[in-house]
Every structure is written in C-alpha cells, then in structure tokens.
Amino acid sequence: MKLIEKLTAEHLAIYLAYGLEIVCHANYKGGLNTIQKILGIGEMYVTYRNTCYQCVDVDLMFIKPILRTRQSITPEELETFSICFRMWYDKPSFDYNLMIYSDVVQMAKLHIDIFGLIESGLAVEKETIKK
C-alpha cells in the first residue's frame, strides 16, 4: 500500500458514524495528548468535545485517529465479513481495492485501518494506547 503523506477529512469521514476516537497532540484548548471522540469533520479540522464539554475545532495536522490493524480482527469479528474477505484479510498481498462495500463498512465500524494510516504514521494503533 502506498504511504499517505497527509491526513485528510476523506480519511476520517467513513469512521465518523462509528465513534472514532482521536489523540490530539496540540496543546490547544485542553487537547494535549488526550483521547477524544470526533463530533464532526471539516475540510481541514475535526470537532470534538473537550473535558469542559466545549466543542473544540483542531486542525487535522494536530490529531491522529486511533485505529486497529487488520491483524487485530478477532475470530468472532471475522465471521461478520464476506467469505472473500475472510480468505484474504491476513495475506500481505491483500488489495483494499477489491473489497466489497459491506466489508469496507464493517472495517469502519470496527475502526480497522482502511487507508494505511498507521503504516504512514498518521494514525495510532489502538493496541498501543493506554487509557
């Protein structure tokens, strides 16, 4: 998979309906290294509710989504995917372009990295986060 150079709203939009969490690295309105759920996405920013329950907009360059790798899919979760996905999901030659829509949606629901953001350094792997 080609490495992504910059996080965009398009990378985050598919996860929005499923409670995507982010790590905010900006010392901006109470956001330093905190885990927040995204409330909305603009072209260049995300909106979340800070610890004082205020809505805060933060530039995309200061946040990283918290995502899971394909390899973190449990056997129970795997049963919710198509047979084609189950046959290929753990192979190095896995091609996201050949996935059916329902599998893409299921990956978004489970916060599985669809775009290679973890590999590109633009997302944080959920297994490495300490809450």
The span from the CA of 18 to the CA of 96, in Å, is 20
Q: Which long-range contacts (CB under 8 A, 24 or more apart) does 99-107 make?
A: 104/14, 105/14, 106/80, 106/81, 107/70
Do 76 and 121 reside in the same domain of the chain?
yes
Residues 42, 15 share a domain: yes
Q: Per residue in 77-103, pLDDT tens? A: 999 999 988 888 888 778 878 889 999
Q: Which of 29, 51, 66 is the last residue of a domain?
A: 66
| Stated pTM of the model | 0.80
Token duo for residue 98: 């050949």
**Domain coverage including residue 99:** 67-128
Q: Which of 15-29, 31-45, 52-66, 108-122 has the lowest mean pLDDT?
A: 31-45
Does 4 reside within a domain? no
Model pLDDT, residue 43: 62
**14 and 53 housed in the same domain:** yes
What's residue 61's pLDDT? Answer: 75
Residue 36 lies in a domain: yes
Q: Is the pLDDT of residue 72 over 90?
A: yes
- Statement to judge: residues 17 and 60 lie in one domain: yes
Q: In the chain, how many domains are there?
A: 2
User: 50 with 86, same domain?
Assistant: no
User: At 24, which CATH number?
Assistant: 2.30.30
